[in-house]
Structure 1
């Protein structure tokens, strides 16, 4: 492999084709009709088609999963796992991955705010990641058809033509590998069968919501099948972007609450000029939806012994920035007038407009401008320093395509091989206005280009009627090029020295590589008593190439890289030209013992490990801050009970877990060497967590079902590294202590008029520590409860349905994310409110 350049490997369709061709040629030589089909095909065959029955609750009760590389009923799998099929997702009006995660215990998956582009924050049992920067690893593995998606950008996947979703809680270090420390989320698409079936679906709803979905399955030859599906979604935003100068020509509202808590009159001097004409002050609607995707699948299945699936997918996601507001209960805290819209002058002259509470707009509006004027900076550290005018836009764009080849070959009744090859490529661009005001405080532009390819091969062996083993190897390579233009006009150098300008570009590169070998065994020791165990060795490498240029792209910026500006790129002590390298390896293990007392009850105990990969700080302000951080490791102990009671009319599962976290990766505002500002991730210490999770599904009578879940999470730091700014009593960021869901539906048979099914769902999320502290006070996202409902009519033939859905029926105002930079000196505290009450009508025709 060393003779092949990374760019040639990036063009991996050549390699994928060669590998697949070799397997295809070998396939017929060992094909046997009696051999087992691929685990995914087994699972899909076992999960009924929702169109084949009128009782969707019965469909949900019989889900077969492949979490352990073999098809198993979910109740026979010794894992804390939530699995939902297509019928359940449709009944709950779930159209993207975040909505499915809302229903799972101790799982948090939220779309990020505008500063993080089209990315997500995800955690399972509190373990995960919210920062999209490619230097960081996600902590929760996300997969589609067993193909790993390594980045948080673009990960709010639409549920296009899915067969099922499996959410595995707890470390999956042996089953899923690196970065599945908290758990893994696995989506499985519908495989072509040549059935000739298809569907067309249309949706219309609030704020001009328009949705279209369609899919068709067809036969090309007796053993070659194809499936094509697509989705189009558009909806206007729900947060108004307003022109401040148009709304307040005098410079602000008549009165506002100042930073000292007093009420002040607006000072008409130093007003902000209007961009829009008076009376037409709306610039745009933020929080827009604009998603399109198309997927094609080709399946060659001449016998049970040969099953080859090729898939290609293209995604185009273009919309206005996430809807955000300045937090209404916050105090904007940046009294320095040098950041104002008038030319700031630190030493004498006319000050600019201060950044204060006059820019708090309301529950669903902001005054973001995405522009900064050209000025001459008069700071002590930067006398007569010109700053360029910048003009960005509020649009977020993601374009990606994914190619995969999943091949299954049965060598004999005892052995089979699965080979999974994949190539992914995406680009994303988005502008940033962190301060949500016309003040040129903190803005910029981000552009990311990413590719990765991977290959995984598994040897499955039925060593005996009671022993199943899997041996495998995995190879992964990626590179993300991250171009960022930063215009930060709030950074204080030191007391008495005032602000200094940070206007620079950073075309950084992050290549990475990982390889692994693993094995898992399933051994039924005696009838009813089964052992599952696994071991995986992982070796990973990552580089970070730093560049800090002035906006001209040629000269080095002296404020973030003074050594480089004087001595040149690559000089000792220079940040520009520096290449930071990380290399790590480790072993992960899993052992689980389960005993089935009867067909109705099974209990299991397990221990497992997982880790989130290490790396180096991608946001150093000085070369000394380009510091490395080691992998974060979780060891988990778990006990669980799975039951099917009362003639399978009640399913109740419960588990309890205890986890030990080592080398926790935490962000700090003061680096270990004492330098500040600092935005580094370090290994901040150790922690422990424990919790309980329960879920149930009840069908007391035919057609009526009730389902729900409950989870509790308790987290505490037990040891902190020297220099860490957090405390042992600091709350854990990103996850609620309590979370519950409750839903019910009842299908009424109307005879020749079809059926009518009302459904109601409620979800509760406890308050969440945002990860930010202001004036020593931790900042929280408040708890909230949401209520959704859906009413579905289906005709007698079950091939036509009409649904009326409502979400957030009580019109609850709540925050999804909170981004507080007051402690960092920016003065801003902004939040992303959740979507208000919405309704929609959906018509679906199957054929």
Structure 2
């Protein structure tokens, strides 16, 4: 890529990492014990094994707050993407980003995360696939394709694997090739012409040595929100019509068109050496996310006397008046024609990664994780959702990254001491571009072509050790050093002559460069005590860190500023229990966090722009909460699960930068932090003799309200809701065939996933899908 000559090619990186591992294998000849995979750890049937502390442990033996689900639970709950897992995890809130932020997930754990998808920001919650860190929120709405398990780690992960994560981590682990010869094909059809196809197959290329697993998915459905032409529906209003179609329908939003595939190759060279190589590809050409206009207090770009409120459609209706047209206008530079923004959200992703596990000696192993990723795409946005050109944009982006992680794991002192030392390297180059129009043809106009370049790199080293002081008491400590660097260079060009800077106020930013650099030490201390086989308790102190950056959206020179990192001091206690011969599992956790230099967005007008979206370090806060997860199996075939969480947020200090945010007070609630979450599910497997099994399942989830901005403007309040889902599945006795019927939002509740208040008086909500049904047929072989 231009300007990136020192960025090695993907092939060179993989070859270099593989060569390093092979040299290590050749140079160290001692017999060894490798870091075990989760699938190899001893566990009772149905028990989930996790690797949060660099070694395989039963979920109930891990002194951390973790929610974990295996592939069976994912299927039974009818979960389709990473957005769906939040409903089953306490104090976890995952939302789609909305049209302004593109195909991104807004992930929050215990009220800490990141909602803006720009490459200028670090994710507050780390996202991983097979231990590979994904450094961008764009393209992070991962499909749950062919998974072995999902792990959600709550609380800072400052001293553990991958990149520093202040809020926690969401980790997806794919099924590994085993050479079993098994696989499945599944087809589904449902509401909104939903068509889903997925499957996987596992082969042995060389018996007992070389295995291949191939999996793929395709999802398509029609949009559920209709875009109507206001001018067509109201021909005497004076609003220009954009179509003559019957019903004045312009199109839909919320439609899906996504395909993804994965090829995994596993080589078990000996009992000392195992290598895994995975290639993944994603093509997503979906419609833009569904949006409804909730409030509009500006009439910029509208004829004199226009009431902007007339473009708000009826409550609880899945409609808007977005045309995605920029109408012709005239300014001091002349007359400019109309332009159209395609209301689609495209993601094209390619990823290749490999892991090498090498046994060095008794209690000593080496693990290498090398990965290259590239995501590119585009998305259109008609922020005002009216027939006029108040605020619209068409964005394009390109992100590539290389990560390398190395871990040396050891066990000594008669297996009483387990330790890990390692390092993590991250290098990324991102580009963000497109064209933005704000109130063209008015005194407040600002429009420009964006050409931003954002190189970043992060280097860290970590050490982790657990010592079993007695058979019951284990002490754990961890430390990490992080060195972050990020540069942001702005391009703000004239849309009508891109060889020149923009002639609006944004042109003064063209060529400006902002930088961020910081180093950080993080720590963890943990004590766990096993009172019996059924009860374990723990207490922990840890620190967290999220790197700072540079404002990615300055509309005027005074807004091109940097912001500092966020930091966290976290105390946690917890208990994990398996009672009545594992018929009842209750996991509890309580935490208290001191959150420093929290970054919030200031949308107040500045000297040269009525539009502002500047991130500032607003102040400090105390956060505390409680979490409980329960699983009961009172009789064979019956499973009852439930979770609940409570979260309290209190601003304790508002700094000078935070005081510039209109409406901020110490009584305000944190964005994307619902105070309460409750959820539960029940299923029972009815045996039908030789015919097979019928398993109905019912789930219900409650989430209290939250705000999307720290000013707690009531227009951007997402109301609480109760959501119910159901599924019933028949499986034949041989377990070769499965027929299922599922329903989401079964009581057809109208509710919002998100509400966002944009500058210049625009508030937009993202309604969730209405009731859906789907019937699926699965054939296993």
TM-score normalised to structure 1 length: 0.88
Q: 1:672 to 1:559 in 2, by over 3 A?
A: closer
- In the other structure, the counterpart of 2:313 is 360
- In the other structure, the counterpart of 1:641 is 575
- In the other structure, the counterpart of 1:532 is 476
| CA–CA separation in structure 1 for the residues paired with 2:421 and 2:84 | 35
1:412 counterpart = 2:412: no
> Which of 583, 588, 612 does residue 517 from structure 2 map onto?
583
Aligned ranges 1:373-388 → 2 under 5 Å: 373-377=327-331, 383=332, 386-388=335-337
| CA–CA separation in structure 1 for the residues paired with 2:765 and 2:83 | 18
Q: 1:271 to 1:675 in 2, by over 3 A?
A: closer
SS at match of 1:105: coil
- In the other structure, the counterpart of 2:599 is 665
SS at match of 1:549: strand
- Once the two structures are TM-superposed, the CA of residue 387 in structure 1 deviates from its matched residue by 4.2
1:195 counterpart = 2:140: no
Q: Cα deviation per residue 1:812-832 (whole Å; 9 max; x = unaligned)?
A: 1100010223xx32x322111
Point out the more displaced range, 579-588 or 174-183. Answer: 174-183
Aligned ranges 1:163-242 → 2 under 5 Å: 163-176=148-161, 178-222=163-207, 223-242=209-228
- Once the two structures are TM-superposed, the CA of residue 24 in structure 1 deviates from its matched residue by 2.9
| CA–CA separation in structure 2 for the residues paired with 1:387 and 1:708 | 59
Q: Cα deviation per residue 1:553-580 (whole Å; 9 max; x = unaligned)?
A: 1121233246x4xxxxxxxxxx221211
Residues 819 and 830, structure 1, Cα contact 8 Å, conserved in 2 = yes
| CA–CA separation in structure 2 for the residues paired with 1:669 and 1:37 | 52
Q: Cα deviation per residue 1:626-671 (whole Å; 9 max; x = unaligned)?
A: 2111110011100001100001100001110000001111111248
Q: Cα deviation per residue 1:78-107 (whole Å; 9 max; x = unaligned)?
A: 100000000000000012111112210000
Residues 217 and 226, structure 1, Cα contact 8 Å, conserved in 2 = yes
| CA–CA separation in structure 2 for the residues paired with 1:179 and 1:470 | 16
- Once the two structures are TM-superposed, the CA of residue 751 in structure 1 deviates from its matched residue by 1.1
- Once the two structures are TM-superposed, the CA of residue 5 in structure 1 deviates from its matched residue by 8.7
- In the other structure, the counterpart of 1:27 is 25
Q: 1:190 to 1:468 in 2, by over 3 A?
A: same
1:749 counterpart = 2:747: no
Residues 706 and 719, structure 2, Cα contact 8 Å, conserved in 1 = yes
Residues 594 and 602, structure 1, Cα contact 8 Å, conserved in 2 = yes
1:785 counterpart = 2:722: yes
> Which of 465, 486, 496 does residue 542 from structure 1 map onto?
486
Q: Cα deviation per residue 1:274-317 (whole Å; 9 max; x = unaligned)?
A: 4123x332221210111110000011112331110000000011
Task: Return 5+ residue gaps in structure 1 as ranges.
Answer: 49-57, 252-269, 345-350, 378-382, 492-497, 565-574
Number of matched pairs:
772
- In the other structure, the counterpart of 1:721 is 655
| CA–CA separation in structure 1 for the residues paired with 2:314 and 2:485 | 46
Task: Return 5+ residue gaps in structure 2 as ranges.
Answer: none
Residues 163 and 424, structure 2, Cα contact 8 Å, conserved in 1 = no
Residues 616 and 657, structure 2, Cα contact 8 Å, conserved in 1 = no
- In the other structure, the counterpart of 1:131 is 116
- Once the two structures are TM-superposed, the CA of residue 729 in structure 1 deviates from its matched residue by 1.4
- In the other structure, the counterpart of 1:267 is none
Q: Cα deviation per residue 1:707-749 (whole Å; 9 max; x = unaligned)?
A: 0100000001100111422221121111210001100000011
- In the other structure, the counterpart of 1:796 is 733
Aligned ranges 1:753-832 → 2 under 5 Å: 753-771=691-709, 773=711, 777=714, 779-821=716-758, 824-825=759-760, 827-832=761-766
| CA–CA separation in structure 2 for the residues paired with 1:479 and 1:645 | 51
- Once the two structures are TM-superposed, the CA of residue 224 in structure 1 deviates from its matched residue by 0.9
| CA–CA separation in structure 1 for the residues paired with 2:614 and 2:756 | 17
SS at match of 1:102: helix
- In the other structure, the counterpart of 1:710 is 644
| CA–CA separation in structure 2 for the residues paired with 1:510 and 1:297 | 31
1:80 counterpart = 2:65: yes
Q: 1:463 to 1:456 in 2, by over 3 A?
A: same
Q: 1:660 to 1:770 in 2, by over 3 A?
A: same
Residues 137 and 179, structure 1, Cα contact 8 Å, conserved in 2 = no
Point out the more displaced range, 83-92 or 168-177. Answer: 168-177
1:846 counterpart = 2:780: yes
- Once the two structures are TM-superposed, the CA of residue 799 in structure 1 deviates from its matched residue by 2.0
> Which of 273, 297, 308 does residue 241 from structure 2 map onto?
273
| CA–CA separation in structure 1 for the residues paired with 2:429 and 2:194 | 36
- In the other structure, the counterpart of 2:275 is 308
Residues 138 and 179, structure 1, Cα contact 8 Å, conserved in 2 = no
1:475 counterpart = 2:425: yes
SS at match of 2:545: strand
| CA–CA separation in structure 2 for the residues paired with 1:682 and 1:178 | 23
Q: 1:299 to 1:230 in 2, by over 3 A?
A: same
Residues 43 and 65, structure 1, Cα contact 8 Å, conserved in 2 = no
Asked which structure has the greater CA Rg, the reply is 1
- Once the two structures are TM-superposed, the CA of residue 543 in structure 1 deviates from its matched residue by 0.2
Q: Cα deviation per residue 1:444-463 (whole Å; 9 max; x = unaligned)?
A: 10000010001010000112
Q: 1:358 to 1:704 in 2, by over 3 A?
A: same
| CA–CA separation in structure 2 for the residues paired with 1:835 and 1:28 | 56
> Which of 82, 100, 116 does residue 101 from structure 2 map onto?
116
TM-score normalised to structure 2 length: 0.95
Q: Cα deviation per residue 1:7-28 (whole Å; 9 max; x = unaligned)?
A: 4424232122122034235436
